[in-house]
A and B are shown apart, each in its own frame.
Chain A
Amino acid sequence: MALLEVKNLGISFGGLRAVNEFHLEIEKGCLYGLIGPNGAGKTTVFNLLTGVYRPNEGIIKLDGESIVGKKTIDINKAGIARTFQNIRLFKDLTVLDNVKAGLHNHYKYSALEGIFRLPKYYKVEKAMNEKAMELLEVFDLHNEAQTLASNLPYGKQRKLEITRALATEPKLLLLDEPAAGMNPNETQELMETIRFVRDKFDMTILLIEHDMKLVSGICEKLTVLNFGEVLAEGDTAEVLNNPEVIKAYLGE
């Protein structure tokens, strides 16, 4: 059974049909790409998957369980984490605290235990610090643990956002244009990071991307979206050679 199963998904904003009869199936451990021209509805699909928007119709199943109509926080608890096209870090918190915020639902103590500094506070905080540092080390951010997130260079901010998403221990990771604004070297490094995340955390990843080098380099399967509808899907090489797809991107 596929990890993520989407059938007949649709949403309209007023008279605009943003996504129509969208379907998607992602096997566990797959690196899946979602591409399409600007305004095709890719980010809308992400917002539907994470509960930011509620679909007008359709089925979304994660691990066999429907997540349609659930709130964003519950969908995160169910196992979907995401990054954003325009980076959304907690900019006035340190790098370490950003990751610890991601650990929020996995390391718990009550507010009172925190205020009165009961033994559980020290125990859980210590475990949190260790886990967060472990994650930061994986992404080579541990030397900047005490830096404010907003002071990180661009590429590292992207990495931190992925780290924070992974801290919520998701089953499925959604990356919205991770390579946006990166130079070729940074993109190359990012490709390695993404592949590394998949292998190390045994993660299933769905990503939106415009950078064809990145897409053809790491994605195993692709879905192409155009005007809110699925234009093509399948293995990467096959899809990229599909004349329909080339037409959508380059015109006649």
Chain B
Amino acid sequence: MKKMNKMTRNNLITYLIVIVIYVIAQILVMTGSISSLLKGLLVPLCAYVILAVSLNLTVGILGELSLGHAGFMCVGAFTSAFFSKCMVDVIPTTGVRYLLALVIGAVCAGICGILIGIPVLRLKGDYLAIVTLAFGEIIKNIVNALFIGKDASGFHFSTKDSISLGLEEGGKVIVNGPQGITGTPKDSTFTIGVVLILITLFIVQNLIHSRSGRAIMAIRDNRIAAESIGINITKYKLMAFAISATLAGVAGVIYAHNLATLTAQPKNFGYNMSIMILVFVVLGGIGNIRGSIIAAIVLTLLPELLRGLNDYRMLIYAVVLIIMMLFNWSPKAIEWREKYAAKLKSGRKKNAKEAV
């Protein structure tokens, strides 16, 4: 029973951290003490945090490597932006429209996750990494080659250019290939983003500390043993991966509804983005949800705060990554950490005793 309390307390601390950061950011915005550049970063930041947390579900809890998380984000972003742009006149209420866009983006990304997961997650080994890597690139390229228009007679598709859509007069191009989707309603706000972060945390943390989460972690720790005690490997792997993809889709929806023009470039939906999310997860600690949040925030804000170092950003990433890996995995570092932790603990106990 003691553990239950500890577990709930840990979860609550995570929620609290997010709320405190939100309040601080809001105060800073209201007092006008942050630059407009940083202000513009707040909504994408929410998307990054959700991406990091959702990828941690795949990498840290399920123990499979996914290198195409941006692909799921891309699916969520474009399906929801497409929906919002079509429905902007039909559903004038922002709240309802945004909610529907969220559901659509999340469901589409989730379906992609399941479609990819069904064949790949049956295999042992790092196949998921290879397939998701390809998936991310394919989705990006498909979106870049896709033209969709709408006129009185309905939707028109083309993979060539916008002229070959053959739109009637009064028709408009919605998805314009490499130019993407222009004029998505900017419905995402920082508050909505934070609420979605909290919902994501709620889903992920509660999943981890439930029967299903235990099964997922059992598979991660020892697949053969998990099978021998009757855990359905494919089902739970698929469940974790689909939830992870769905949440990435949610992040995509936030991201898409913050931009006037949504285009699929390597920078936002390509390999670089996938790796950046992975960096958040690795730096924050694999399997450590709270760490992912903090790493996502720090690594998003840092380059902006250190504008002058921007050219070296990727270089610093690489170096920091290597240092973190050493810190996390080298025997010497582990030894040092344990020693330090023990010291800290005994020190605290002593303090507590003195206080009593």
Contacts and interface: CB of A to CB of B under 8 A. Distances in A.
Interface of A: 50, 52, 72-73, 76-77, 81-82, 84, 88-94, 96-97, 100-102, 104-105, 107-109, 111, 114-117, 121, 124-125, 128-129, 146, 164-165, 167-168
Contacts of A102: 229
Contacts of B217: 90, 92-93, 97
Given A101-B215, A104-B214, A109-B211, A114 B206 contact: yes
Interface of B: 1-3, 202-203, 206-207, 210-215, 217-218, 220-222, 224-233, 239, 287
Contacts, number: 100
B228 A97 contact: no
B222 A104 contact: no
Given A109-B211, A111-B239, A115-B206, A88 B230 contact: no
B210 to A, nearest CB: 3
Contacts of A107: 211
Given A96-B3, A114-B207, A88 B214 contact: no
A76 B206 contact: no
A141 to B, nearest CB: 15
Contact of A88 (B202, B207, B224): B224
B231 A73 contact: yes
Given A104-B214, A108-B211, A115-B206, A89 B225 contact: yes
Given A84-B225, A89-B222, A117-B206, A73 B212 contact: no
B254 to A, nearest CB: 21
B211 A90 contact: no
B211 A93 contact: no
Contacts of A76: 227-230
Contact of B218 (A93, A96, A109): A93
Give the 7 A-B CB pairs with smallest separation, nearest first: A114-B210, A76-B230, A88-B225, A90-B221, A111-B212, A101-B218, A72-B227
Given A76-B229, A111-B239, A104 B215 contact: yes
Contact of A164 (B215, B229, B232): B229
Contacts of B207: 111, 114-115
Contacts of B203: 115
A88 B227 CA distance: 11
Given A111-B210, A114-B212, A124-B211, A91 B224 contact: no
6 contacts: A76-B230, A90-B221, A90-B222, A91-B222, A96-B3, A97-B217
Given A84-B225, A90-B218, A111-B239, A104 B231 contact: yes
A235 B338 CA distance: 52
A196 to B, nearest CB: 21
B6 to A, nearest CB: 9
A101 B222 CA distance: 12
Given A101-B215, A111-B207, A72 B228 contact: yes
B221 A104 contact: no
Contacts of A129: 1
A115 B213 CA distance: 10
Given A90-B222, A114-B206, A81 B228 contact: yes
Contacts of A108: 211
Given A90-B217, A101-B231, A84 B210 contact: no
B210 A73 contact: no
A42 B220 CA distance: 28
Contacts of B2: 146
Contacts of B230: 73, 76-77, 104-105, 168
Contacts of B218: 90, 93, 101
B238 to A, nearest CB: 11
A165 B210 contact: no
Given A90-B218, A96-B3, A104 B229 contact: yes
Contacts of B233: 73
Which of B2, B225, B227 has its CB near the most chain A CB atoms (within 10 A)? B225
Given A84-B224, A111-B239, A101 B210 contact: no
Nearest to B225: A88
A90 B225 contact: yes
B229 A81 contact: yes
B224 A100 contact: no
A165 B221 CA distance: 16
Nearest to A100: B214
A119 B150 CA distance: 48
A114 B213 contact: yes
Contacts of B225: 84, 88-90, 164
A142 to B, nearest CB: 13
Nearest to B240: A111
Contacts of A164: 225, 229
Contacts of B239: 111
Contacts of A128: 211
A93 B214 contact: yes
Contacts of B231: 73, 101, 104
A81 B228 CA distance: 7
A124 B213 CA distance: 15
